[in-house]
Homo-oligomer: A and B are copies of this chain.
Amino acid sequence: MADKTAVEPRRDRRHARHQATKREILDAAWKMVRDAGVNALSLRALARVVDMEPQSLYTYFDSKHSVYDHLFADGNRELLARFDRLEVSDDRRRALDAVARLFVTFAAEDQARYELLFLRTIPDFEPSPESYAIAVEVFKRGRSILTDVGLRTLEDFDLWTAVVSGLSSQQLANDPGGDRYIRLIDNAVAMFSEHVFGR
């Protein structure tokens, strides 16, 4: 496929244009789900926002679920990128704190994204294998950081994810836009760390 684009530059530009429009549609979709909730997304409304007829969206997406699928991939790519940018401290407590903060912040930023990525709230939607693969990468990356700082058993890892996702979901549910639970990260990490590693 890469050779073709070298031979036919017009293809390239056409492709780029296509991708740009697709991106524009997805950005609009993000705005919609953020404003009204993941389950309030409709193709008609989406088309209106990007100033198209609803039918034209099918040039870019096979179905509504395909739009969701791209959002799902988007979100996971963003989270993965943040993990990749993370500098993991040698100090265990610092490292754990950074990971927790990264995740809870990511979650708290966007309720809709959190729902889409971590809860199964859209009837009949499940990510395509390609999109799911990104989510698996995210999981692996998170897990490997924690293994590096000394978290050895699955049980400890599960306890960790429970604490971090608990802070995230409580933040979103009880203090959206605030920092009531974000402020607890330090405390929570101390609790976890002391329990698993001792003082």
* Stretch touching chain B among A34-42, A57-65, A79-87: A34-42
Interface residue? A190 (CB, 8 A): yes
Residues of B within 8 A of A155 (CB): 184, 187
**Cβ-based interface call for A9 (8 A):** no
Q: Is B173 within 8 A of A158, CB to CB?
A: no
Instruction: Give the number of residues in A that approach B within 8 Å (Cβ atoms).
Output: 37
- Tally of this chain's copies: 2
Contact partner, A166, options B37, B122, B166, B180, Cβ 8 Å:
B166
Rounded to whole angstroms, the CA-CA distance of A97 and B190 in the bound complex is 21
Q: Which residues 158-173 of A have a CB within 8 angstroms of B?
A: 158-159, 161-167, 169-170, 173
Q: Are B162 and A123 in contact (CB under 8 A)?
A: no
Q: Are B122 and A119 neighbours in the complex by a CB distance under 8 Å?
A: no
Q: Which positions in A face B, CB cutoff 8 Å? A: 36-40, 111, 115, 118-124, 155, 158-159, 161-167, 169-170, 173, 180-181, 184, 187-188, 190-192, 194-195
Q: List 14 A-B contacts (CB under 8 A).
A: A36-B123, A39-B39, A39-B121, A40-B124, A118-B173, A119-B121, A120-B173, A155-B184, A158-B180, A161-B166, A163-B166, A165-B169, A166-B167, A166-B169
